[in-house]
Structures are given as C-alpha cells and as structure tokens.
Structure 1
Amino acid sequence: MLTVRGEGGAMVTVAQCRPNTASTVFPGDEVGRVIGRGADNRVARAFTDGQIHRDEDPTWHGAVAIRREVIPVAHPASPAAGPRGDAAIIGVLIRATDLTHPRLPSPLEMAYQESANDLCQMVADGTFPEKEGNSQGLSTPRAGDGFIRLDLSGVVSYASPNALSAFHRMGWTSELAGRRLTEVTAELLTDRFESEDVAAMVEAAIGPVGSARVPYRDDVGMRMEVDARRATVLLRAVALRPRGAANGAVILIRDVTEVKRRDLALISKDATIREIHHRVKNNLQSVSALLRLQSRRTTNPEAKGALNEAVRRVASIALVHELLSGSVDEEVDLDEVTDRLVPILVDVAGESRVLVRRVDRLGVLPADQAMPLVMVLTELIQNAIEHGVGTGGGEAGTAEARATRIEIHARRDVRELAIEVVDNGTGLPEGFDLSTSDRLGLQIVKTMVSIDLGGTLDMRRGDAGGTQARVVVPLR
C-alpha cells in the first residue's frame, strides 16, 4: 500500500497492490482509508526519520495475523528536500505479510523477497526508480514474465521458469544458473551490436556507481528489445544498490515473439493494401487518359459527352485510390479530395466561366464511405456546371454575369454529415421530380446515397434562383 500525508497531519492510503498468485492479506479495499495523526506510530515515524520500520509483534485483523514493514518513499529532487541535499519523504510504502499459515518459501519466492528488500531500501534511500534511458518507448516486462537474479560478477544466481522458457525459445538448451549472462546472450543474439549493447546494459546494472572497473553510464538504456535466432525478447535491467552498495542486478525478460510477428504481419498487410491502391490508381488514370484521347477523336457530340462523363467518373475514383495509397488507416480527407477534384471537373467540362468554392470543412471518412460520397459530389458538381454556365446574376455584360458560381457547404456532427451543393444557374425545370428523373448522373447519385451510404438526397430550387442539392449521410 502507498500512504501519503494529508492536511492536518492525517495520513491517507492512495494505492493498494494485491498479489496475483495468492490470496490478498487485506480482504477489504484500503484505498481512501485515513490514519489519524498519532494513530499509527510506525507510519508517522517513517515520515519523520526516513527509516524503515518493522512490526515487532504481528497485528491481528480478524483471524489473520499480519506483520508490516513501513518503507519511506524518498525524493531527493523534491522542493521539500533539506538544505544539505537530504531526500524529502513524500509517502510511505507498507508491506504486509500473512503469518497465519507459515510455510517454507520456494526458491522463486526467496529470490523475489531478497530483491524486493534491496529495492525497498533503495526507495528509502531515494535511489529507485532511477533514470533508465528508455528513449525507444519500450514497455516494461514484469517479474512474472521472467525473472533473473545476477550477482556482482554478472553470473545468474536464480532464473524463474518463465525466464528459462524465454531463453529456451531463443535457442538456449541448458540451465542458466551459474552462467555469465552476457556470455549466454552473446552466443544467442544474431546481431553483434545488440550483443554488445546488452553486455553494456548488464555491466552498467551490476557495476558500482562510479567504479573504476565498470563506470556507470547514463547513455546506456536499461530496456532493450533484441532478436535471437528463433525469438524476440524484451529485456530490462534493474540495478540493486541498497545504501549505495552494489548488490547485483535483476533482469526482467518478456518473450514478445508472437507480438512482433503479428506486428510484422500487419505492416506487411498494410503495405500490400497501399500498393494495391497505388496500382489501381495508375490503371484508372491510364483508362481515363485513353477515354480522353478517344473523346478528342470523336466528332459525334453525344458520344463526346458520354466519353467526357466517363473520364471524370474514372478520374474521381482514381483520386480516392491515390489518397488511400498514402494513408495508413484507410481514411480519406474529403476536403483534400474535393479541392483536387474541382479543377479536374472544370477542365474536363472545358469551361472557364465556372467558379467553384468549398465553404465548409467536410472532414475525414473511412474509405468505404468516402468512395461513394466522392462519386456523389462529382455528379452534383458536374450537374451544376452543365446547367448553370452563362446564367449567373450580376450586371449584364460583366464577367460576374456570365460566370457560374458553385458553393459547397457542409455541416457535421457526431451522427451525420450534411452536404449542400448550391449554384446560381437556371434552376430545376418545371415539373421536375427527383424520383422519376431518368438522367444517368442523378440515377447514380440516388443509388449511391440510398444503398451505399444509407442517406437521403433532396434537390430543390434555391431561394435566390439556381439549384440546391442536399445530401445527408449518417456517420459510423
């Protein structure tokens, strides 16, 4: 448990750790329990003198006899530190042992307890935790993942079954106890530089601070991921220096082979998907170029118009695939697509009297929603271009009067995205009915909005003339 001092000298428990492989000593939740001033002398003394205190006699909690050890948590860099550099006490750790059912501890428990005693003393000294140089952002292996105790010469004095299993996965076939760990890793690791880095990490952990034999190095990271012949493991070295005297080190090891394989599989899959999008984009652009070439050779106006429509539809799909080829999460920025799509549509239409402006942000959508929505926008913008050129408002004879202005508005919340394409053209013809319209572009829009997007489409005459097309799409 971790206890800190509150207002008025009262102490409160702020954290509690329960064992994973045994029953908990305290059946209730101790977090939030307040210890009044003077109610617990050993906790109060640990706050005052910064020394570790142990109960001489066990304390009974119901039918359970408990012996406590109170460890002060020192922080040399705290603003409350003394003028001589004395560490300030910012809290106390309480270790509780159940004495009701005494038994002979296993070698694993003895190794855990010996290392825990050293670490608790280092907590009281203000030297643990220390800077580990974890610049790679690696996770932390736990003692249950794999535990190795090293003596002052770097020889393994104890290795847990999980640690042995990890080394066997790496290719080691015999016992670890009695072997120098750096020699074992040098034999197993495939990269010589990784082997040298592991040796430097271990030597920095077991060597005395400032020793002429093994100087302590701040540049040596104390967490490392290494590859052996058949496995990948994560290593962490914890130096044991109670009262400033070196007492070996603890090496924690976690087998991350399967995690790395899954990561590599995901990376490979992601790269394959992006390459597919890139090739599809190239093929579609080739098709678009061929259609445009055929359109220029065609003299029939109706055939030329049909080919130009096919060019812009293929170009819009190719543009989405181009953006997906550079995306890592299969999402499309609709604003970027729209801004790049508009010049293509104007160019294919061959009109210089069209002003298209995106007023609001459309945001980012998953690829399965973005693809049909881009097609819908393509058709609506192209429809506004075809039916609005040369009908703008403004004074007669001016460029403004001859220009078609098209604006793209959007409103988005957590539930839906609403897009409006507004133009200043001639407006919808008399008696227009969206449900009975036989225009191919509108049929494409209706199908994609209702079936692919599950949304709604509405087209009506604008208040100041022109046409207003509104698409509402639910967001997932």
Structure 2
Amino acid sequence: MSTLSDLLAEYTDFPGEAVDHLQRVVGEWQLLADLSFADVLLWVPAADDAHGHDRILCVAQVRPTTASTAYPQDVVGTAATDVEHPQVRRAFLEGAVVRPPDHVAHAAVPPHGEALPVRWNGRVIAALSRDSNLSSRRTQSPLEVAYLDAAEDLCQMVSDGTFPIDDASSQVGSTPRAGDGFIRLDPSGRVVYASPNALSAYHRMGLSTDLVDRDLAAVTGVLVTDPFESREVATYIRETLHDKPGRPMEIEARGATMLLRALVLKPAGTIDGAIVVVRDVTEVKRRDRALLSKDATIREIHHRVKNNLQTVAALLRLQARRTENDEARQALAESVRRVTSIALVHDTLSMSVDEEVDLDEVVDRLVPILSDVASVATPITVRRKGSFGVLASERATPLVMVLTELVQNAIEHAFEPGEAGTVTMSASRSARWLDVVVHDDGRGLPPDFRLDRSDRLGLQIVRTLVGAELGGSLGVHASPDGGTDAVLRVPLGRAGASRRERQDGERD
C-alpha cells in the first residue's frame, strides 16, 4: 500500500512545504470525517500527465468511525470524472466550497457530493470531497447536529487555509477522536454541547454535575489534581479561544488520566468558539509505561554504538599522531572523519524516539568538524543553505557520508595552499527529490576530469553510496559562477524505495 508521500512523489511536483501541509491535513482529517459522518477523499492534480495535464487523482481516503462508509472499495489511485466527482473539478476551478444543487444550508444533514479547496500559501493545491452513505440518513440527534455544525466550520477553515495549523507543537502520537468525547464551546468558553462520552470522562475525573452552560476552563482546572497542571490546562483552553494554539495536554484527576485537545473554530476569519475532544487514556498510559523501557533500550544501543565509534576514531587519531609517513597519516585522518560522521547519526538517533534523523541538525554539527579537519593553512569556510529535512536512519547514514566526502574533496582539491574560499551545501526538497549542490568557489576542475574514471578513494566511496544505498545520481561539473558544483539527486517516496528493493534483490 503506497503512502501519501509515495503518491505525491509519483504524481505531483509539489514543493516540500506543500507536501508537509497535505501531510498535516491527512493527520487531522479523521476528526473531520467523524464529525461529518462522511468519507473524505484527498484529490491532487497530476503533473507531467500524458492526457493534457488535466487528471485529478485521489491520493488518500479516510472513512468515518461514526457512520457507514460511502466507499467500501478503495478509491485511492482513481481519477475524478465529471460523472462521479464533478464537484472536485469545480472546487479547483472556482477555489470555493462546492455543494450539490439540492443543498440546504444548516439542514443538519450529513454532506454528500461536496468538495472544498485545500489552500497553502494562498494557492489551491488540492481538494477534499465529502460523501456520506445515503442509505443511512435519518433524523439527526443533538449529538449529530453538534458534530455537523463543527464540521462545517472546520471545512471552511481548510478552504481558507487556516486549518490545520502550521505548528509542530500541535502534533501528538495519540490524539482524541470525536467519539471519545466531544465538547462544543461558544466564543466565551462556555459549554454549548457535551457528548455522553465527554460527560462520562469528566465524571471519572470527579465532576458531579452537568457540563452545559459551564465555563470549561474553570471546571477542568478545579478537577485537576496538580495545582500547576490545573493552571496550565485552564490557560490552554482560554488561549485556544483567542486563537493561540497549544499542545494537547494529558491531565490527571482522581487516578484517571485524560488526553485533552482544543481546536479554535474560525470560519472566514471570525472566531466562532472551539471544540474540545477528550479521551480516557488511563489504561493506555499503563501499557505505555511498559514500552518506555524498550524505547530507552533502543536509544541506549544507539548511544553505545556512538561511543564505540568515537573510541575507534580516537584510536585512529592516536595512531595518526604516532605515524611518520605522511600518506599513512592522511589516510588515518580521513578514516577519523568518516567514522565521526557515522557517529553523529547514531548520536542523533540516541536522542530520538523514532528511527528518523533530522539531517539539518547533523549537517550543522558536521560543518565545524569538516572545517577543523581541513588544513590549518587553508582558511576555508563551510556552510549550509536550505533544508535537508528528515530521512529514515538507513538512508541518513550514507547521505551524511556522501556529503562529508564531497565537502572534504572540495576542501582538499579546489583551492591553492593558503587560499581562502567557501564551500556551500545547498539543499532543496520536493515531493519527489532531495536535491543537493556542493559548490566551491575554487580553481575549477582539471581539463581531463571524469567522475567515472577518478581514482580518488573519496569519490569512489561517493559513487558507491549514491548508486547502491541511495538510488540517486551524482554529477560533478564546472559552475557557471566559477568553481565546481557537485550535484546530488536522491529520490524520495516510493520511487526511491522501489529502486532500493530492486538492488537488494540483485544482491541476494
């Protein structure tokens, strides 16, 4: 099953920031589907299409947990047609929410045949469609009416480009769903509606009365056991109503642990209150504690690998100092640099809860090391431009080694002894590719230079890693502005994974 990143890499040429926004939309849309009682589909225009650049493809689908699905079959990978999804094309063309001709505003009926544009930086980059199962329509209860009203506001915010928010602090591994417990607040923070599950959750925390028409921040603050946490959760709810998003909170009261999340409702730029979803995670927290020791063990392994690599580097450095042969000393120094770059990746993993590496952090720590290893008589400045983003650890290690070798090669061969210069690593990332250019402003390439015939060990290592581990391409040529450019392209998403799988099969 292809992921959203894989499909965006295959069918679009979106910049990395647009991909991140669509990832945030998909990260939030289970709530939207549940509140809408409808399937929600994400549609994007296909780039480089042989049919005239007019295909609109479904790249993600979510079904509601609160109602029967309208699409038992998988829609991902299909194209929007004028017969089945005419509203999707109109949403792209008109840049507005498109509803069926028989739509009646505020009828408290689940949506069907609706589409809304998804905006990023003021530009429509995708569309969401909402379709409910027509056979399950019936008179709506107060809970369903409250759900649908909130869903309408969230849809308008998606169309406005104000939801989901571009705030990493709002992302959590486990977020409450509407069915866990749903509360609707008016702009003053008083409860307009509380679902039975939400009321039950508050009863487990010690509330003995109803929630409706109560100030939720004040009520929650009184129930929470810890005084500091009490003030914090009350502030969180009140600031959400003033459009100051914060991180979802875990609160404890009378032995119960609740995960609480608040979202401001701001359709068309006007604050219309907020929704609060609350989940009883008492039992989940008990199981999580058992997993913490396993996570700590994995991080400790990475930490020990890092320490062992640093020990190896120290031993090589000591041997280099005792070696009188200049060629052997240089070879040992290069080995120290390579081992140190691998140790940096494991150091990052030892501080992470997953197996992904923030390459910007690693590269920024690598830059001073490369500058120190360079000859003291050669004042070379190394710097980074752009963002490398996050990669899985199995790809981050070879990429960091490639960058190390390319920068070191430029430091050693691009400048005359004592000549000042600059080596710049420039990165740009899209849905399909990570493009890196290592540029130096030195003397340029020798007239007879060919990358495939170079006998330098560093370049041979680079060619092997780029081809075998990264599935990418590398070119070294003269820069239009003088100096030399080493141009690296690494595939992301499904294309890169497929190539690695083929190479693994060939090695087997």
Could you state the TM-score of these two structures normalised by the residue count of structure 1?
Answer: 0.48
Rg bigger for which structure? 1
